[in-house]
Amino acid sequence: MSVTPCLLFSGNAEEAVDFYVSLIPNSRIVETTRLDGKVLMLTFELDGTLHRALNGPEAAFTEAISLMVPCETQAEIDRIWDRIVETGGTPRMCGWIKDRYGLAWQVYPSRIDEWLNGDPAAAGRVMQEVMKMVKLDLPTLERAWKGEPAPA
């Protein structure tokens, strides 16, 4: 048995999936299901994780569901974040961003789990910095975790 998220789009699933697989490395469209010549559903992988996109009635995403993207470097954070913004996305606080289709993403440093689950004082410093940011800044968060002062 496996569980696969299915994202409901209002007629633009194919456009959204094309964008998503271009955004995340090691991603691809696995299958396209058509009904009466129109795209009904797409099965796709984002870096090996299976998803489905369904064209359906008018629907809207909320922040109750988001795609989490752990990034190893600031360059990765910048590339994904900037691409979502450049294509009509809306930045939110604390590393959250909504794409032009209304789907929320969390773009964050992959080490944040380690930082938040370790020393409570370091975790507090990291969260204090996260709460001030829109796009997360890896060097600033790393300095907070280490307890180092910000550069002058």
- What CATH number does the domain containing 70 carry? 3.10.180.10
Task: Tell me which amino acid residue 16 is.
Answer: A
Say whether both 68 and 54 belong to one domain: no
pLDDT attached to residue 152: 73
Same domain, 66 and 137: yes
| Same structural domain, 83 and 104 | yes
Sign of CA dihedral 97, 100, 104, 108: negative
The tally of domains found in the chain comes to: 2
* Residue 34 and residue 8 in one domain: yes
Rounded CA separation 11/46 (Å): 21
Residue 141 lies in domain: 60-152
Tens digit of pLDDT for each residue in 69-88?
A: 999 999 999 999 999 999 99
Under the banding of pLDDT at 50, 70 and 90, the label for residue 116 is very high
pLDDT of residue 1 exceeding 90? no
Average pLDDT over residues 3-20: 95
* 75 and 142 belong to one structural domain: yes
Q: What percent of the chain has pLDDT over 70?
A: 100
Q: Cα torsion for 53, 57, 62, 65, to the nearest 10°?
A: -30
